[in-house]
Amino acid sequence: MSLGAFGAVLTVVLTTGMAVLVSRWLHTALDPAQLLASERVPHLGGHEPSVHAWSRFHVRYYAMALLFLAFDMEMVFMYPWAVVFVQEGLIALVEMLMFILILLLGILYAWRERALEWA
């Protein structure tokens, strides 16, 4: 290893150490125990919350979150596919169309089961 590689490792170690020290300093500077009681309330701008933070949500919100994650993962798979598409051509196009068709069937099923309605 050359001296440049050790310099890079030393830079990473020093940067990490500084980040740890700054975060510890920020924790002591912004210590929640030093806040007033109204400042420790988690939301509503200092007013007392009307609902507990651990209250239960309706099951349709979980279904909507799962649908969002499914289609968010679709985008994660489409970016690398766009790079490979130039090299692979028609095979990559057919594979992505099958992937999108499966997701479309999931949307149609969710629509039929009324999982996309809020009311």
Query: Domain spans of the chain?
Result: 1-55, 59-119
- Verdict on whether the full-model pTM lies above 0.95: no
Q: Scanning the structure block, which residue is given the tokens 């149609």?
A: 108
Per-residue model confidence as pLDDT tens for the chain (119 residues) = 566 778 888 999 999 999 999 999 998 888 767 767 666 666 656 566 677 777 777 777 887 888 888 778 778 888 888 888 888 888 988 988 998 898 889 888 888 988 777 76
How far apart CA 96 and CA 29 sit, in angstroms, is: 51
Domain covering 59-119 assigned CATH 1.20.58.1610 in the classification: yes
Nearest partner of 116 among 57, 58, 64, 59, judged by Cα: 64
Nearest partner of 113 among 63, 45, 44, judged by Cα: 63
DSSP 3-state assignment of 114?
A: coil
Helices (H), 89-113: 90-112
